[in-house]
Amino acid sequence: MGLSKKILVTGGAGFIGSHVVRRFVNNYPQYEIVNLDKLTYAGNLANLTDIEEKPNYRFVKADITNVIEISDLFKNEDFDAVIHLAAESHVDRSISDPTAFVMTNVIGTVNLLNAAREFWKDDYATKRFYHVSTDEVYGALGDTGMFIETTSYDPHSPYSASKASSDHFVRAYHDTYGIDIVISNCSNNYGSHHFPEKLIPLAINNIKNNQPVPVYGKGENVRDWLWVEDHARAIDVIFHEAKAGETYNIGGHNEWKNIDLIHLLCNIMDKKLGREVGTSAKLITFVTDRAGHDLRYAIDSSKLQNKLNWVPSLQFEEGLTKTVEWYLENEEWLNNVTSGNYQTYYNTQYNNI
């Protein structure tokens, strides 16, 4: 791939996508970054106000499930690469409405692959399709072990099943048509601009507002948390250096039981809000467990560390403190995304706890 590139980033107004767009726009002024997003409830252009005026950045509102919109875009723009993040991303929503996940995550991905197949066919060797995926495709671990790149797929939720399916299609287009693809499977991310349906930003918002903090089951489930900017940096390295057809696991080597994480967060919030230590923890409320709740995720990212020299940069307590500070300093962002439809979602999901 040459020095200057036109890159289509899908899902760039969401949580991780906005960090990827910001990183590429700022670090590669010679690249043209086209951010395609449907702006669902999870997409928010306010995530990118700091770079929206940059000359190497453009936003296109489009839906990846719309064949005509996607094929017109590929016809009109000579993209060198796609970094595909657009997705329905929340497990609980996938339990209530699986079809939306099949549409965007499976059909939407196949539409993008078809456009790449059609418009890149004379030039596959100079193009790249980077598919951003999740560790949830590997299923659940018991108390020991870690996911490696060759772990068999065993998804349990409609979300992870749809991501697993999309991963298979991406590999199939490499094996069948010769498209240059790379896939990365990452553990749970945290950081700024995270939509407060996910555990950490939801808990920050509730603690701030003195509302109950819902913990599913007994809070025994384990997740491996990674600072979102470390994920964006890993995507940058893999995009530029991975061989065609390769998969990389990305993770923080940072496993936390949900209940321990929430206690740490409560302590940080007590400090930041000037509350007596122990005040926020009183908000912890155990609620009915998630159906099919995967017990434990843990990523072995040694391939990425050894081959491409990537290591996570932040300790969890430091990253969590920065995250809390961002939410407290960006009250307007938080108020905007938690108004309107969010309240309806919240009341249905949590039965007005």
- Nearest-angstrom CA–CA distance, 123 and 140: 39
Is 200 a binding residue for ligand NAD by CB under 6 A? The answer is: no
If residue 190 lies in a helix (H) or strand (E), which one and from where to where? Answer: strand 188-190
202 binds, among ligand NAD, ligand TYD, none (CB under 5 to 8 A by kind): ligand TYD
For 197-212, give one letter per residue: b (16+ CB within 10 A) or e. bbbbbbbbbbbbeebe
Q: Which residues contact 320 (CB under 8 A, 6 or more apart)?
A: 190, 200, 264, 265, 268
38 binds, among ligand NAD, ligand TYD, none (CB under 5 to 8 A by kind): ligand NAD
The pair of structure tokens assigned to 257 is 């039981």
Stretch that binds ligand NAD, among 137-145, 184-192, 284-292, 315-323 (CB under 6 A): 184-192
The pair of structure tokens assigned to 313 is 């940069």
Q: Please give the C-alpha separations between residue 184 and each of 75, 170, 319, in angstroms, as whole numbers.
A: 27, 11, 22
Spatial contact of 111 and 70, defined as CB atoms under 8 Å apart: yes
Given the residues 37, 80, 136, 230, select the one marked as catalytic. 136
Give the residue with the Cβ less far from ligand NAD, 189 or 205: 189
User: Could you confirm whether 135 is annotated as catalytic?
Assistant: yes
Spatial contact of 1 and 128, defined as CB atoms under 8 Å apart: yes
Give the residue with the Cβ less far from ligand TYD, 214 or 252: 214
Is 37 a binding residue for ligand NAD by CB under 6 A? The answer is: yes
State in angstroms the smallest separation of the CB of 223 from ligand TYD. Answer: 5
The one among 35, 56, 65, 338 contacting ligand NAD by CB under 6 A: 65
- Nearest-angstrom CA–CA distance, 318 and 325: 11
State in angstroms the smallest separation of the CB of 265 from ligand NAD. Answer: 16
> Phi/psi of residue 248, each to 5°?
-125, 135
> What track of x and - describes contact with ligand TYD for positions 283 through 302 (by CB under 6 A)?
-------x------------
163 binds, among ligand NAD, ligand TYD, none (CB under 5 to 8 A by kind): ligand NAD
> What track of x and - describes contact with ligand NAD for positions 157 through 176 (by CB under 6 A)?
------x-------------
Spatial contact of 131 and 83, defined as CB atoms under 8 Å apart: no
Is 258 a binding residue for ligand TYD by CB under 6 A? The answer is: yes
Q: Is 232 left (phi over 0), alpha (psi -120 to 50) or beta?
A: alpha
For 151-182, give one letter per residue: b (16+ CB within 10 A) or e. beeebbbbbbbbbbbbbebbeebbeeeebbbb
User: Could you confirm whether 32 is annotated as catalytic?
Assistant: no
Is 198 a binding residue for ligand TYD by CB under 6 A? The answer is: yes
Is 188 a binding residue for ligand TYD by CB under 6 A? The answer is: yes
Alpha helices by DSSP H, 191-257 = 199-208, 228-241
Length of the chain: 353
Is 93 a binding residue for ligand TYD by CB under 6 A? The answer is: no
Stretch that binds ligand TYD, among 47-55, 119-127, 194-202, 333-341 (CB under 6 A): 194-202
Given the residues 37, 63, 88, 135, select the one marked as catalytic. 135
Is 56 a binding residue for ligand NAD by CB under 6 A? The answer is: no
201 binds, among ligand TYD, ligand NAD, none (CB under 5 to 8 A by kind): none
Binders of ligand NAD among residues 98 to 127 (CB under 6 A) are 104, 108
Question: Among all residues, which ones are annotated catalytic?
Answer: 135-136, 159
Site residues for ligand TYD per CB under 6 A? 91, 188, 198-199, 202, 214-216, 221, 223, 258, 290
List interacting residues with ligand NAD (CB under 6 A).
11, 13-17, 37-40, 42-43, 63-65, 85-89, 104, 108, 132-134, 163, 186, 188-189, 195
